[in-house]
A and B are shown apart, each in its own frame.
Chain A
Amino acid sequence: MTLNDVFARLQATPISEAVAESAWIFPTVESLHVAAITLVVGSILVVDLRLVGLSSATRPSSEVEARFLKITWAAFAAAALTGATLFLAKPIAYAQNPFFLGKLALLLLAAGNMAAFHVIVQPRLGLRAGRAAARVCGFLSLVIWVGVVALGRWTGFTL
């Protein structure tokens, strides 16, 4: 069974048909998705700008992270759940859309960047090179999340 068969089966499920056919489910879940993703980006923006050194300079970046990443994760869970629901409306079409696939790839890249920051960079913030690397991670994160929003919008236009 190929991945396309899986998506074809998924598309035939009652929940998938409900999302695709209902006049209100898709726009409502889409609104929640926008609220969630703007909160992901808004909170991560605070953390990244602190990492880059452009704002909240009076607070340690670890404290800014501890506060704001809680909101990021909660909002990300909501964005993933609502995103998965939107995917159910047209699994085959989404799975073939290059912008949607690009968005998923950027999300993986964001996760990799975050992991690299926590495992490699954060323990070395006492070093000059560590602080420089933290700035790079913060900047990369900003670029990646702008890309995630952009590819999400392009997905909507090309589906």
Chain B
Amino acid sequence: MLNAFAAWLSRTPLTAFLGNAAWAVPAIQTLHILCVAVVFGGAVFINLRILGLFDTGQSVQAVLRRFLPPLVGGVAVLALTGALLIASEPNRALFRTLFWAKMGLVVIALAASLGEGRLAFRGAQDAPESPPHFILKALAVTSLGLWIAVIFAGRWIGYVSGWPGSPT
């Protein structure tokens, strides 16, 4: 099924266009990295604040209100630019285990970041000024590690080999 999808995708005008315009792929990758800057930056600010290591003059809730929406928006644009990068070379990422591992990591990392938001705002109703709960702190360490793992996986996709027998 994946083979059929990749074969269909590679016959689309989109793949033809992205293959012919030499500037297209680096331009999309530039946009992809700028969105990583928004997402990873937001995750770092949020998680360091929860851990009490950054911007402690602001409440955890204020930092989440400021950086969680761009984080989510950034992931949405990343999905779009990522899809375009797959379309530019359909036989590359789809047949590498690390690509699917990265997708799984993105889903879990996003869930962790959104979970931090829910947890922080639920706690805020009971005691607005209390220090973050240890579960929230544990989630912050986990989320930070997951987003870093996503970056590593993304870079390494280009270096690992595809499944045996996959189309080239």
Contacts and interface: CB of A to CB of B under 8 A. Distances in A.
A40 B55 CA distance: 17
Contact of B33 (A27, A55, A153): A153
Interface stretch (B11-19, B34-42, B128-136): B34-42
Interface in A100-159: 146, 149-150, 153-154, 156-157
Interface string A42-81: 1101100000000110000001000110010000000000
A38 B33 contact: yes
A149 B44 contact: no
B151 A46 contact: no
Which secondary structure characterizes the binding site on chain A? Answer: helix
Interface string A8-39: 00000000000000010001101100110111
A31 B117 CA distance: 28
Given A38-B36, A39-B41, A41-B41, A150 B30 contact: yes
A155 to B, nearest CB: 9
Given A41-B41, A43-B41, A34 B30 contact: no
B156 A38 contact: no
A31 B151 contact: yes
B155 A30 contact: yes
Given A34-B36, A42-B40, A150-B27, A71 B155 contact: no
A146 B34 contact: yes
B37 A39 contact: yes
Interface range on chain A: under 10, 10 to 19, 20 to 34, or 35 or more? 20 to 34
A74 B26 CA distance: 27
Interface in B23-75: 25-27, 29-30, 33-34, 36-38, 40-42, 44-45, 54-55, 57, 66
A154 B66 contact: no
Contacts of A30: 155
B8 interface: no
Contacts of B29: 153
B38 A45 contact: yes
Interface string B125-168: 00000000000000000000000100110111011000000000
B151 A42 contact: no
Interface of A: 23, 27-28, 30-31, 34-35, 37-43, 45-46, 55-56, 63, 67-68, 71, 146, 149-150, 153-154, 156-157
Interface of B: 25-27, 29-30, 33-34, 36-38, 40-42, 44-45, 54-55, 57, 66, 148, 151-152, 154-156, 158-159
Given A27-B158, A42-B37, A149-B37, 16 more contacts: A27-B156, A38-B37, A39-B37, A39-B41, A39-B44, A40-B37, A42-B38, A42-B44, A56-B66, A146-B34, A149-B33, A149-B34, A150-B27, A153-B26, A153-B29, A153-B33
9 contacts: A27-B156, A34-B154, A37-B33, A38-B33, A41-B34, A41-B37, A42-B38, A43-B41, A71-B45
